[in-house]
Amino acid sequence: MRKPFIAGNWKLHKTIGEALDLAGALKQEVAGIDDIDIVIAPVYTSLAKVADVLVGSNISVAGQNCYPAASGAFTGEVSPTLLKDAGCRYCIVGHSERRQLFGETDAFINQKIKVLIEAGLRAIFCIGETLEERESDQMYEVLTTQVREGLKGISAEDMQHLVVAYEPVWAIGTGKTATDQEAEEAHAFIRGLLQGLYDEDLAEATRILYGGSVKPDNVDGLMAQQDIDGTLVGGASLKAADFARITRFKRG
């Protein structure tokens, strides 16, 4: 049985004060839920304070990105070591906004995964095709490359510290969710890729999250799918009640 994993990506939203209000409200809303991993990813400037407020709670904190080095002359970057120091247990890597807006490659994302697992963090590794790729029948090829290159050199043991997030780019922030079947098909395909790269046990144990316009009113259908083990939520994670409802998805 894979433990459900519900993560909120706050992206570039919330001042420190707003982040603390949201984290405090969420802490109350989800108190007592102990059979799901709940993670939120605030902006860097509020990470340490949010992590402080959540100490001893059932919510873990994630960075939204990192640079693949412990320290050095890398102006403007933040390392996995520093994220851990700020109270993070997780870090998102390879989000499509990083790939598209900042030109991040599979090889660079692969380096980040290695360095952050080495630093003792867990990776939320994002992959997903664009609308153009889906419509031109390149989706499976794109997912295969992202998985194969992103996980190059990652051992089976290290894979225990990683969850995959399938986020079709056309569904992110657009209000257009993949249908339950579209999402399930992609998830089953990704699980098959993991089986090919590792083995069946590892593929069965790895959690694969869906992301892209997940909301309180569509989470139940998505979470009822066999290969969907959780969600990575953007917009709907900015309201405590909505995100809390997503963590309370209906069990099939």
Catalytic-labelled residue, pool 97, 133, 167, 184: 167
Contact 110, 151 (CB under 8 A): yes
User: Contacts with ligand PGA: how many residues (CB under 6 A)?
Assistant: 13
- Contact with ligand PGA (CB under 6 A) among 117, 147, 214, 244: 214
Q: What amino acid is encoded at 88 in this protein?
A: C
CA end-to-end distance (rounded Å), the chain: 14
Nearer to ligand PGA, 81 or 231 (CB): 231
With helix as H, strand as E and coil as C, how does 68-129 read? CCCCCCCCCCCCHHHHHHCCCCEEEECCHHHHHHCCCCHHHHHHHHHHHHHCCCEEEEEECC
Cα–chain-centroid distance for residue 86?
A: 19
Q: Is 40 in the site for ligand PGA (CB under 6 A)?
A: no
Nearer to ligand PGA, 106 or 242 (CB): 242
Q: Is 8 in the site for ligand PGA (CB under 6 A)?
A: no
Q: How many other CB atoms are there within 10 angstroms of residue 251's CB atom?
A: 9
For ligand PGA, the nearest residue by Cβ is 234
Nearer to ligand PGA, 17 or 173 (CB): 173
User: Which range touches ligand PGA (CB under 6 A), out of 30-38, 145-153, 207-215, 242-250?
Assistant: 207-215
Reference 39, options 252, 249, 248, 231; nearest CA is 231
Q: Is 95 a catalytic residue?
A: yes
Q: Is 161 a catalytic residue?
A: no
- Contact with ligand PGA (CB under 6 A) among 61, 172, 178, 194: 172
Nearer to ligand PGA, 9 or 65 (CB): 9
Looking only at residues 230 through 249 of this chain, which bind ligand PGA when binding is defined by CB under 6 A? Answer: 232-236
How does 23-36 read in b/e, with b if 16+ C-beta sit within 10 Å?
beebbebbeebeeb
Active-site residue set: 95, 167
What is the contact surface with ligand PGA in residues (CB under 6 A)?
A: 9, 167, 172-173, 211-214, 232-236
